[in-house]
Amino acid sequence: MPATVVVGTQWGDEGKGKFTDLMAADMDYVVRYQGGHNAGHTLVVDGKQFALQLVPSGVLYPHITPVIGNGVVVDPHVLIAEMEMLAEQGVDCSKLAISGNAHLIMPYHIELDALHERHLGSGKLGTTKRGIGPAYADRSMRLGLRVQDLLDPKIFSEKLDVALNHTNKVLAKVFNRLPLAGEDIVAEYIEVCAPRLAPHIADTAGLLHEALESDKQVLLEGAQATFLDLDHGTYPFVTSSNPTAGGACTGTGIGPRQIDRVMGIAKAYVTRVGSGPFVTELFDDVGDHLVDVGGEFGTNTGRRRRTGWLDLVMLRHAVRLNSLTEIGLTKLDVLDSLAELKVCAAYELDGKRFEHMPYHQTVMHNAKPVYKELEGWQCDLSGVREAKDLPKQAAAYIEMIEAEVGVPVKLVGVGPSREQYVKR
């Protein structure tokens, strides 16, 4: 049975967690394939809210095996705290499998993330300061420590010595900081974290292949989003992994022919946290309205999200980059009270029109949006459960998206709770 990918199509926080949880009802495995605890995925079930960072969004179902794939960077303290938080809420994490090949976020990664940002000054990226970029950088430099190293104290200490030999020089000579002591890190990671995580460390690629061979349903849950992708996003204002659907292969060990369904999650408008270009950004009352009604503050960092109208140039590009087979449109209800809606059909710069993403990012920094205007529905969608009950203006909004990007909208979110959706 081939696997399904869920991927964000904008700059994150589209509501991937909510739709992953919903789709997990029919799955056996839910797998995170990249990113780390820079993610914040919110689920609302029976009035209870869960903000997940590292644990896959299928965890609330007892029938799901949650998996953290090799492409994820794991802060062991955060993972343990999240498992404890879930246990306190009655959620069983005993089946959680963590790839031995996933890389560890180390204390110096967190320190370096903050130092890099401070040194960038006004050019800062606005990272989540969770150590994500430095952890992936060490992975590329072949200086990283992996989850499996927690199982071998000797190897862990040897690799840590090599890493600290480099990193302590950077901390002292570049940033004028005190060096870190290897023994303290060994004490935390090997003595405190390793015993807690050891039962979960597994050959997740092997596990997933066996699952697919025995016709199990596998859902690959992306964190971040297409335009935060290290290769395809608005570089350098991106994260340090590949959220795009190809990352689901490299981040799990599943080959591309084993994926046959890719659900792109799009918010009915666009938000972004942190720096970088944003063609449809709103600086007016409508932007504030979207923040207020949509609750557009970071799930974990609490930062106010920038808001703007839906951008079809981005969505068309996301369809191509991810081979989207369908779209899950979230937060349509947030547009309920607006009399007039706009969507960006193209960008315009110096008399040139761009319906597809311009390859030169300078265009994106300077372009003006070309808007299509649509009539709002001005009624409450939160109780709608059947497509036939959507007001005609809301149906027209959805159909316009389908016609513009050439992919069907299969799920529509009309509120934060698990049951607040319409299937089409």
| Per CB under 6 A, 387 contacts ligand GDP | no
Exactly one of 13, 21, 311, 333 is catalytic; which is it? Answer: 13
CA within 13 Å, CB half, 251: 27
Which residue among 6, 13, 18, 227 contacts Mg ion (CB under 5 A)? 13
Exactly one of 41, 116, 200, 232 is catalytic; which is it? Answer: 41
Q: Which does 333 bind (CB under 5 to 8 A by kind): ligand IMO, ligand GDP, Mg ion, none?
A: ligand GDP
Q: Which does 331 bind (CB under 5 to 8 A by kind): ligand GDP, Mg ion, ligand IMO, none?
A: ligand GDP
| Per CB under 6 A, 274 contacts ligand GDP | no
Pairing of strands 103-104, 73-74: parallel
How far, in Å, CA of 252 to CA of 232, rounded?
20
Site string for ligand IMO, 97-126 (x = CB under 6 A): ----------------------------xx
How far, in Å, CA of 267 to CA of 314, rounded?
12
Which residue among 234, 330, 377, 422 contacts ligand GDP (CB under 6 A)? 330
**Which lies closer to ligand IMO via its Cβ, residue 128 or residue 242?**
128
Which residue among 195, 199, 295, 406 contacts ligand GDP (CB under 6 A)? 295
306, 308, 311, 314 alpha-carbon torsion, rounded to 10°: -10
Amino acid at 182: G
Site string for ligand GDP, 40-59 (x = CB under 6 A): xxx-x---------------
**Which lies closer to ligand IMO via its Cβ, residue 236 or residue 255?**
236
Alpha carbon 127 to chain centroid, angstroms = 13
- CB neighbour class for 120 (10 Å; exposed up to 12, middle 13-18, buried from 19): middle
CB of 330 to ligand IMO, least distance (A): 12
Which residue among 8, 36, 40, 131 contacts Mg ion (CB under 5 A)? 40
Stretch that binds Mg ion, among 34-42, 48-56, 109-117, 250-258 (CB under 5 A): 34-42
Q: Which does 244 bind (CB under 5 to 8 A by kind): ligand GDP, ligand IMO, Mg ion, none?
A: none
Residues 7-46 that bind ligand IMO (CB under 6 A): 8, 11-13, 38-41
Which residue among 4, 128, 148, 242 contacts ligand IMO (CB under 6 A)? 128
Whether 41 is catalytic is: yes
How far, in Å, CA of 226 to CA of 299, rounded?
19
Provide the 10 A C-beta neighbour count for residue 287. Answer: 19
Report the greatest alpha carbon distance in the chain.
Answer: 66
CB of 13 to Mg ion, least distance (A): 4
Q: Are 303 and 273 in contact (CB under 8 A)?
A: yes
Whether 215 is catalytic is: no
Of 93, 21, 28, 4, nearest in space to 58 by CA: 21
How far, in Å, CA of 56 to CA of 54, rounded?
6
SS3 107: helix
- CB neighbour class for 273 (10 Å; exposed up to 12, middle 13-18, buried from 19): buried
With b for 16 or more beta-carbon neighbours within 10 A and e for fewer, the 172-184 pattern comes to eeeeeeeebebee
CB of 192 to ligand GDP, least distance (A): 29
How far, in Å, CA of 104 to CA of 96, rounded?
17
CB of 44 to ligand GDP, least distance (A): 5
* Chain residues in the site for ligand GDP (CB under 6 A): 8, 12-18, 40-42, 44, 295, 299, 330-331, 333-334, 413-416
Site residues for ligand IMO per CB under 6 A: 8, 11-13, 38-41, 125-128, 130, 132-133, 223-225, 228, 237, 239-240, 273-274
Residues with active-site annotation? 13, 41
Site residues for Mg ion per CB under 5 A: 13, 40, 299
